[in-house]
Amino acid sequence: MTRTVAFVGLGRMGGPMAANLVGAGHRVLGYDVVPEAVAAAAASGVEPAASATAAAEADVVITMLPDGRHVLDLYGERGLLAAARPGTLFVDCSTIDVADARAAHEAARAAGHRALDVPVSGGVTGAEAGTLTFMAGGGAEEFAEAEPLLSAMGRKVVHCGAAGAGQAAKICNNMILGISMIGVSEAFVLAESLGLDHQALYDVASTASGQCWALTVNCPVPGPVPGSPANRDYRPGFAAPLMAKDLNLAADALRAGGVDAQLGLKAAELYAAFAEGDGAGLDFSAIVRTIRGSGAATEHTTKDGTNP
C-alpha cells in the first residue's frame, strides 16, 4: 500500500532512508533544519516540506534526529504532534535514551496519536543500501502498520517489545559493539608487540572463536578487510562521537539499573575521551591508535607489511 510519509531529519542516515521510501513508491514529505539536506533529499524524489505542514498531511511521521532532546522538542515545543491528524503513527528511528523514548510514546498518546521507537543498526552504508536492521518498541498493531515501510529501508525488522524496547535493544547491541571493538583493537596491538602479522591474526581469529563484526567487517587495522574505514584513514563509517553517545546511554542505563557491567562502563569512559580528543572526526575503529599510543609510526610499518 502506498503511504504518505513525513520524514524529519534528512542527515547522513535520514537522507538515504527517505530516498529508499521514495524508491519503494511512497510519497515522502521531507524536512530538515539544514536546507542543503533538504535539497539533497529532493534530488532523490523527496518533496520538500515545512515540518508541521508535512505532519498534518502524512499517514506516518518518521524522525531521524541526533538525540532525545531533539525528538521531544520537535514533538512538543515545535508542534509536530499538534499539527498532525488524529491517530497519526509516529515512528522515531533516532538513537535516544529509553526514558526519552517512553516520554515520546506518552506525548504522542496524550495528543491522540500512536507511536513506535525503532532505532536502527547498519550505519550509513546500510541506510544507502536499504539493508538496515530495525528494532521496534511499541504495540503490535503499530508495528504491523510500520513494518512494510521499515522493510523498504532495511533487511531485518524485529519487534522487541513494548514502548522503549527498541532503544533498549539498540544500546545493548552497541555496548557489545563498543566493547568488542576495543577488544579487537587491543588484540591487534598485542599482536604488533609480539611480532605477529595483522593478516595472520585476522586469518586465525576471523575463523576462530574471536570472530565478530568489529573484526570481520570493521577491522580496525588496514589490510585484512579492504572495505573497512582503516583503509581510508578512518573516515567514518560509524563516527566515534556516535559510539560515545550510545555507550553513554548504555552507561546511564547500567547505573540506573544497578547492573555491575564493568566493561560497558569502561568502554563508555574510553570512547568519551577518544571522541572528545583525537577521534572527533574519525570512525570508532580508530580507537586502535589510542590503544597503540603512537599511530603514525605503526601505520608506516603496517603499510610496509611488517609489524614492530
Residues tagged active-site: 170
Least distance in angstroms from the C-beta of 164 to ligand NAD: 15
Residues 213-272 within binding reach of ligand NAD (CB under 6 A): 238, 242, 245
What is the DSSP code string of 276-295?
HTTTTTSBGGGHHHHHHS-H
Q: Site for ligand NAD (CB under 6 A): how many residues? A: 26
**Nine-digit cell at 216?**
570481520
Q: Which of 45, 66, 139, 210 lies at the binding interface for ligand NAD (CB under 6 A)?
A: 66
**Nine-digit cell at 49?**
516540506
- Cis peptide bond upstream of 76, omega within 30: no
Q: Which residue is nearest to ligand NAD (CB)?
A: 11
Binding span for ligand NAD by CB under 6 A among 7-15, 142-150, 183-191, 273-281 = 7-15
Least distance in angstroms from the C-beta of 237 to ligand NAD: 7
Q: Which of 88, 95, 167, 285 lies at the binding interface for ligand NAD (CB under 6 A)?
A: 95
> Using CA atoms, how far apart are residues 247 and 287, in angstroms rounded to an integer?
14
Residues 135-154 within binding reach of ligand NAD (CB under 6 A): none
Residue 9 in contact with ligand NAD, rule: CB under 6 A: yes
**Rounded (5°) CA angle 241-245-246:** 120
Least distance in angstroms from the C-beta of 259 to ligand NAD: 22
> Using CA atoms, how far apart are residues 307 and 298, in angstroms rounded to an integer?
7
Q: Is the CB of residue 157 less than 8 Å from the CB of residue 150?
A: yes
> Using CA atoms, how far apart are residues 206 and 213, in angstroms rounded to an integer?
9
Residues 19-58 within binding reach of ligand NAD (CB under 6 A): 31-34, 37
Q: Is the CB of residue 74 less than 8 Å from the CB of residue 80?
A: yes
Binding site for ligand NAD (CB under 6 A): 8-14, 31-34, 37, 64-67, 70, 74, 94-95, 120, 123-124, 238, 242, 245
